Structure 1
Amino acid sequence: MSTPFYVSPQQAMADRAEYARKGIARGRSVVVLQYRDGILFVAENPSRALHKVSEIYDRIAFAAVGKYNEFENLRIGGVRYADLRGYTYHREDVTARGLANVYAQTLGTIFSSVGEKPYEVELIVAEVGDAPTDDQIYRLPHDGSIVDEHGSVAVGGDADRISGRLDRDHRDDMTLGEALRLAVRSLARDPNGNERELTADQLEVAVLDRTRPQQRKFKRLSGEPLERLLAETAGDDDSGDDSGEPAAAPGGGAEETGAGKKDTKGKDEGKGEGKAGDGEE
């Protein structure tokens, strides 16, 4: 009779963690940023059918990288939890903290189970508050731990390099245009430091906008509104203006300014729940 092969619990957990991390790193990155009026989600995502960023509840959104079928199951479970809790108690009882705890228990149980492989996913759960200080962003790695983030966070792909740039350049009082420009620049730079061009068709963009009068604060930016916003920020880069806002025409008119741009204030709003493509796993 052969002797069973022995692996220490520490080595088994280390192997499972390494397996999950490699799977997550193969996916394209997702960036989440706080800005003046809410929370911005930007993912490099050429797919129009598979979403990485989704709404969970009124003020709560979900972003993920890794295996699509795995984080989609988690997203659906989160929606069911939020709907049931909001119906049973009150809509205000559905919080990002509570949802993050549910996800942490699920991921932790799966990670420590010897009967199945660990999930190759990393999640972000965010909730927009009435003021920037009330915003909540939680990152959940594959092992079910919870990291309370502030300001900016990146997951998937080359997340460490992207997070370093975000930490250096991010400000809490950024406009939507400034935050979008920073997110796209961070995603577009490859490990060698070369800049790629990311178009609206390659991006999935959404916001939790605290200024929306509706109870539901989640909104996707896609199509013409996103292209216009990207064009405005690109124009600002060319003119050397780092404010993230288009220049106003003299005297409040519609004539072009010296920077060659028209006053398009307020036109960067998306039109409801437009579809945006999602990336690979």
Structure 2
Amino acid sequence: MSTPFYVSPQQAMADRAEYARKGIARGRSVVVLQYTDGVLFVAENPSRALHKVSEIYDRIAFAAVGKYNEFENLRIGGVRYADLRGYTYDRNDVTARGLANVYAQTLGTIFSSAGEKPYEVELIVAEVGAAPEDDQIYRLPHDGSIVDEHGSVAVGGNADQISSYLDQRHRDGMTLAEALKLAVDSLNRDNNGGKERTLTAEQLEVAVLDRTRPQQRKFKRILGRQLSRLLEEGTTPPSAEENSAEPSED
């Protein structure tokens, strides 16, 4: 009888982690950052049918990179968890922290199981609070760990380079247009070593958790003319804005 090939547990886990990271890095990036009225989500995503950013519950949204079928299953599970908990107890009992813990258990179990491959996904769960200091952003890598993020975070693609760019330039109190410009500028840098590029509105998926919305559900997608206007507003020089006589739109 031949001796079975032995791989140490440490090496096996390292190989699984490397496999998942390579799959995640092949995906287009997603950026999440705080602005004065809430949390902004910006993804490089030309598809209008397959979303990387979605609403989970009243104040909670979800963003993901990696394999679509895998993170879509996780999104659906999160919606079911939130609906059941809100119905059974109270809507205020549904929190981003609780949802992140559920996702962490699921991802951790799959990652440590020898019977199936690890999920090639990285998730962000965010909740908008009554004030900026109450906002919550959690990043969940493929292994089920939870990272409590503040200010800004990027996943997928060249996430390290994008995160460094965001950390140097993000500041508290940014307007939506300023935050959107920063997010798009950071995504423009994820060019896989090619020439510098400029992403257009048609190549972006943009959504916000807006704390100023009067309704209970704070999630809103930014599309079409509104997105184009915000992109133009973010690139307008301050002197031109000051000299403009046109009234601002709501």
Q: Give the TM-score of the pair, scaled to structure 2.
A: 0.96
RMSD between aligned alpha carbons?
Answer: 1.4
Query: What corresponds to 1:216 in structure 2?
Result: 217
Distance in 2 between residues matched to 1:229 and 1:263, nearest whole Å: 15
Q: Residue 248 of structure 2: which of 264, 269, 272 is its match?
A: 264
- Contact 1:32/1:153, CA 8 A, preserved across alignment: yes
Query: What corresponds to 2:112 in structure 1?
Result: 112
User: For residue 196 of structure 1, what is the amino acid of its counterpart?
Assistant: R
Alignment of 1:28-39 (within 5 A): 28-39=28-39
Distance in 1 between residues matched to 2:195 and 2:180, nearest whole Å: 19
- Contact 1:209/1:217, CA 8 A, preserved across alignment: yes
Q: Residue 247 of structure 1: which of 238, 241, 246 is its match?
A: 241
Segments of 4+ moved more than 4 angstroms = 191-194
Query: What corresponds to 1:276 in structure 2?
Result: none
> Offset of 1:247 from its aligned partner?
2.9
- CA displacement, residues 76-134 of structure 1 (integer Å, 9 cap, x when unaligned): 00000000000000000000000000000000000000000000000000000000000
Query: What corresponds to 1:9 in structure 2?
Result: 9
- SS of the aligned residue for 2:182 comes to helix
Query: What corresponds to 2:169 in structure 1?
Result: 169
Query: What corresponds to 1:133 in structure 2?
Result: 133
> Offset of 1:231 from its aligned partner?
1.6
- CA displacement, residues 117-157 of structure 1 (integer Å, 9 cap, x when unaligned): 00000000000000000000000000000000000000000
- Contact 1:248/1:263, CA 8 A, preserved across alignment: no
> Offset of 1:60 from its aligned partner?
0.1
Distance in 1 between residues matched to 2:196 and 2:182, nearest whole Å: 13
Distance in 2 between residues matched to 1:184 and 1:158, nearest whole Å: 14
Query: What corresponds to 2:103 in structure 1?
Result: 103
Query: What corresponds to 1:253 in structure 2?
Result: none
Query: What corresponds to 2:65 in structure 1?
Result: 65
- Contact 1:129/1:136, CA 8 A, preserved across alignment: yes
Distance in 1 between residues matched to 2:163 and 2:247, nearest whole Å: 33
User: For residue 144 of structure 2, what is the amino acid of its counterpart?
Assistant: G
Is 1:92 paired with 2:86?
no
- SS of the aligned residue for 1:12 comes to helix
- SS of the aligned residue for 1:56 comes to strand
User: For residue 214 of structure 1, what is the amino acid of its counterpart?
Assistant: Q
> Offset of 1:172 from its aligned partner?
1.7
- SS of the aligned residue for 2:221 comes to strand
Distance in 2 between residues matched to 1:193 and 1:16, nearest whole Å: 29
Residue-pair matches, total: 249
> Offset of 1:248 from its aligned partner?
5.9
Query: What corresponds to 2:51 in structure 1?
Result: 51
Q: Give the TM-score of the pair, scaled to structure 1.
A: 0.86
Distance in 2 between residues matched to 1:6 and 1:132, nearest whole Å: 52
- CA displacement, residues 32-84 of structure 1 (integer Å, 9 cap, x when unaligned): 00000000000000011100000000000000000000000000000000000
Stretches of structure 1 lacking an aligned partner (at least 5 in a row):
250-255, 267-281
- CA displacement, residues 233-252 of structure 1 (integer Å, 9 cap, x when unaligned): 22x1xx3x29xxx8367xxx
Distance in 2 between residues matched to 1:264 and 1:138, nearest whole Å: 34
User: For residue 110 of structure 1, what is the amino acid of its counterpart?
Assistant: I
